[in-house]
């Protein structure tokens, strides 16, 4: 089993508001092992904080007597969030100041047109998880993996979220893993999908995950199911999560509306039409689902894809549960 270091952003917690400056640069594939400090002129009476990578923007603030009073009272106004160990906990997370702040900053930068790309970040970060060796998962490793062919185009989505992360970090440092997990849930909600509670407290890894762990688009249904089983996800999870393809312009209804159009289109099998454009709808893996008996059947009397096509509320509930399972896969948590 590979060994990975995890970075606890609470170690960098500052009692003052941080200001983001400079052009954002993504970390190298293998981040440096040393911690760099941002130098500041000694005359400026500023506070400096450590960064994991010298290519990251430097942060610093100057303060006076009024700010010192605010700094002294901040720990009482903004209590530190303690992570919870049970998967799928809802109520305790929704009222925390950290959680509400993250959602507020994400909503400032997120639009319906950008939602699919942000949701894709979730799948590509968490989708590397493997049960057998407990490697990969929702750990923020995607920031080191943007040059991989399967992650083409995701740098723009991460750049969008970096703006939100900067806003949150001004008050309280947040991990990439937490931010991406919450952002994906907000993307679904913004496009009309279900409200998904996200547990906080994930730690970021300091290295990329192994390559070749994401499901390939060309897999048939049998291979897809085996791939998802290795990640601790059931066939039903596979079908429900695939419903996310309803947004993003893959040909399943309105590209900015999260609904059950994906399943309705699957049943119609438009790619079999003589129309040349119809063959461009969806991915080979999407088409494979509707040709597979197990994906179609929940039991002898029920059909999965048909159920979701006929009952959007049921799809929303199952997607929510599968999403929570996905973003908790492989996560390392604050103590």
Measured distance CA(48)–CA(65) in Å, rounded: 18
Which of 9, 81, 124, 245 is catalytic? The answer is 124
Pull the structure tokens for residue 23.
């052009």
Q: If residue 73 lies in a helix (H) or strand (E), which one and from where to where?
A: helix 65-77
β-partners of residue 204 are: 7
Going by their DSSP bridges, the two strands 6-7 and 60-62 should be labelled as unpaired
Listed residue (105, 236, 126) closest to 168, CA to CA: 105
Locus of tokens 């490793």: 141
Q: How far is CA 38 from CA 3, 181, 291, in A?
A: 29, 29, 56
Pull the structure tokens for residue 293.
């008996």
Locus of tokens 């407290």: 201
Annotate 132-143 with DSSP letters as a single string: TTTB-SSSSGGG
Q: Do residues 260 and 246 make contact, with C-beta atoms less than 8 angstroms apart? A: yes
9 an active-site residue? no
Going by their DSSP bridges, the two strands 36-37 and 6-7 should be labelled as unpaired
3-state DSSP assignment of residue 36: strand
Measured distance CA(67)–CA(60) in Å, rounded: 14
Q: How far is CA 310 from CA 20, 107, 307, in A?
A: 48, 31, 5
Q: CA 212, 4, 106, 196 torsion: positive or negative?
A: positive
> Any idea which residues carry the catalytic annotation?
124
């Amino acid at each position: 089993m590979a060994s990975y270091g995890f970075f606890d952003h609470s170690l960098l917690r500052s009692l003052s508001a941080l200001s983001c400056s400079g052009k954002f640069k993504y970390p190298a594939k293998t981040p440096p092992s040393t911690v760099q400090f941002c130098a500041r002129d000694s005359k400026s009476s500023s506070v400096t904080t450590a960064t994991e990578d010298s290519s990251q923007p430097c942060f610093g603030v100057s303060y006076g007597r009024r700010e010192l009073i605010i700094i002294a009272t901040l720990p009482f106004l903004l209590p530190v969030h303690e992570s919870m160990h049970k998967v799928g906990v809802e109520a305790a997370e929704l009222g925390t100041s950290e959680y509400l702040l993250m959602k507020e900053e994400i909503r400032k930068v997120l639009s319906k047109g950008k939602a699919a790309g942000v949701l894709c970040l979730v799948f590509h970060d968490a989708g590397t998880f493997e049960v057998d060796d407990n490697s990969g998962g929702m750990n923020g490793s995607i920031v080191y993996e943007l040059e991989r062919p399967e992650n083409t185009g995701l740098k723009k989505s991460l750049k969008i979220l970096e703006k939100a992360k900067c806003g949150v970090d001004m008050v309280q440092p947040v991990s990439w893993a937490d931010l991406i997990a919450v952002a994906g849930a907000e993307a679904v909600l913004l496009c009309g999908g279900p409200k998904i509670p996200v547990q906080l407290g994930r730690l970021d890894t300091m290295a990329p995950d192994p390559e070749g762990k994401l499901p390939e688009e060309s897999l048939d249904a049998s291979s897809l199911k085996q791939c998802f089983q290795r990640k601790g996800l059931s066939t039903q999870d596979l079908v429900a999560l695939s419903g996310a393809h309803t947004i993003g312009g893959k040909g399943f209804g309105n590209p900015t509306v999260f609904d059950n159009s994906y399943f309705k289109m699957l049943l119609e099998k438009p790619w079999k039409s003589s129309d040349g454009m119809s063959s461009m709808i969806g991915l080979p893996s999407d088409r494979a689902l509707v040709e597979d008996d197990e994906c179609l059947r929940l039991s002898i009397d029920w059909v999965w894809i048909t159920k979701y096509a006929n009952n959007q509320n049921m799809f929303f509930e199952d997607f929510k549960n599968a999403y929570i399972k996905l973003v908790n896969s492989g996560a390392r948590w604050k103590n």
